[in-house]
Amino acid sequence: MTRPGGRSARVRDAVHEAVIELLAAGEIDAAIPKIAERAGVNPTSIYRRWGGRENLLLDAAVTRLRSTSPIPDTGSLRGDLLGWAEGVERAMRDPHGQILLRALVATMAPDGKPFEYLKARGDDLQKTIDAAAARGEAVPSVDEVLDHVLAPLYVRVLFRRPVEPGTAARLVERLFRTL
């Protein structure tokens, strides 16, 4: 477990920023030594923490999404999912968010094993859904949220289709019509 602040957080932030900058500059296949140089850290720090480029990209993407689109607690599932989805929508309109998503998808191994970073994001959604169920609300499954809200936003980015403002709200409303 890493500490939330201090040197470890500074290294993480520097490495995340370096990988995003390199991707934005068109260096989709930037190797760990180049990322480390850009971040001002030793490559062994990256290998020790992330093991490889794929895990680094995944961590950078999930960390960015957690900061740009946290799941709010509005007191209703509709409000929570709407706030979250609008944050994802903003992230997917941001060129850096688009580049990071495309690079992540391009480098993910086809073995299909769940990554702890993605699992953590799914756990965030599950906690929100569980809280809504405890309040007596009708709730979708995490997979239904992913299928109805997240996947359409990501597909637009992957196929270079525009993510128009208001798309997230329409997707959340469509999800709730299915409940």
Same domain, 83 and 23: no
Q: Are residues 44 and 61 in the same domain?
A: no
Q: What are phi and psi of 46, to 5 degrees?
A: -70, -45
Question: pLDDT above 90 covers what percent of the chain?
Answer: 61
CATH of the domain at 99: 1.10.357.10
Of 172, 4, 174, 164, the residue nearest 76 (C-alpha): 172
Is residue 79 domain-shared with residue 139, that is, in the same domain?
Answer: yes
**Full-model pTM:** 0.80
Q: How far is CA 110 from the centre of its chain?
A: 19
The single-letter DSSP state of residue 148 is I
pLDDT tens track for 19-45: 989 988 888 788 999 999 999 999 999
pLDDT (tens digit, 9 = 90+) per residue, 62-95?
788 778 888 999 999 999 999 999 999 999 999 8
Please state, in angstroms and as integers, the Cα–Cα distance from residue 88 to each residue in 26, 29, 100, 149, 164, following that order: 23, 25, 13, 10, 12
Whether residues 64 and 100 share a domain: the answer is yes
Q: Number of structural domains, the chain?
A: 2
The separation between CA 19 and the C-alpha centre of its own chain, rounded to angstroms, equals: 15
CA dihedral 101, 103, 106, 110 (to 10 degrees): -70
Containing 176, the helix (H) or strand (E) segment is helix 167-178
Separation CA 116–CA 68 (nearest Å):
19
For residues 3 and 81, membership in a common domain is answered with no
Q: Domain limits at 40?
A: 1-51
